[in-house]
Chains A and B, each alone.
Chain A
Amino acid sequence: AQTVTQSQPEMSVQEAETVTLSCTYDTSESNYYLFWYKQPPSRQMILVIRQEAYKQQNATENRFSVNFQKAAKSFSLKISDSQLGDTAMYFCAFMKSGAGSYQLTFGKGTKLSVIP
Chain B
Amino acid sequence: DGGITQSPKYLFRKEGQNVTLSCEQNLNHDAMYWYRQDPGQGLRLIYYSQIVNDFQKGDIAEGYSVSREKKESFPLTVTSAQKNPTAFYLCASSIRGLQGSNQPQHFGDGTRLSIL
Query: Pick the contact of A45 from B48, B92, B99, B101 — CB < 8 Å?
Result: B92
* Interchain Cβ contacts within 8 Å, total number: 62
Query: Pick the contact of B45 from A45, A50, A104 — CB < 8 Å?
Result: A104
Instruction: Kindly state the interface size class of chain B when it binds its partner.
Output: 20 to 34
- Most-contacted residue by chain B among A45, A93, A100, A109 (CB, 10 A): A45
- CB of A55, distance to nearest CB on chain B (Å): 15
CB of A95 within 8 A of CB of B109, answer: no
Query: Pick the contact of A103 from B40, B45, B99, B106 — CB < 8 Å?
Result: B45
Asked if A50 meets B104 with Cβ closer than 8 Å, knowing A4-B42, A43-B88, A103-B48, the reply is yes
CA distance A46 to B109 in the complex (A): 10
CA distance A104 to B48 in the complex (A): 11
Question: Which residues, 25 to 47 on A, are CB-close (under 8 Å) to B?
Answer: 33, 35, 37, 42-47
Query: Pick the contact of B101 from A42, A101, A104, A107 — CB < 8 Å?
Result: A101
Query: Pick the contact of A101 from B43, B45, B88, B102 — CB < 8 Å?
Result: B102
Q: 0/1 per residue, B37-48, Cβ < 8 Å to A?
A: 000111111001
Q: 0/1 per residue, B60-76, Cβ < 8 Å to A?
A: 00000000000000000
- CB of A76, distance to nearest CB on chain B (Å): 17
Asked if A102 meets B100 with Cβ closer than 8 Å, knowing A43-B109, A91-B42, the reply is no
Instruction: Kindly state the interface size class of chain A when it binds its partner.
Output: 20 to 34
CA distance A4 to B41 in the complex (A): 12
- Which residues of the partner chain B approach A4 to less than 8 Å between Cβ atoms? 42
Q: Is B105 part of the contact surface with A, judged by Cβ < 8 Å?
A: yes
CA distance A37 to B43 in the complex (A): 11
Report 11 cross-chain contacts, Cβ distance below 8 Å, ordered by A residue.
A43-B109, A43-B110, A47-B105, A95-B102, A99-B101, A101-B100, A103-B48, A103-B58, A104-B33, A104-B43, A106-B44
Residues of B within 8 A of A (CB): 31, 33, 40-45, 48, 50, 58, 88, 90, 92, 94, 99-102, 104-110
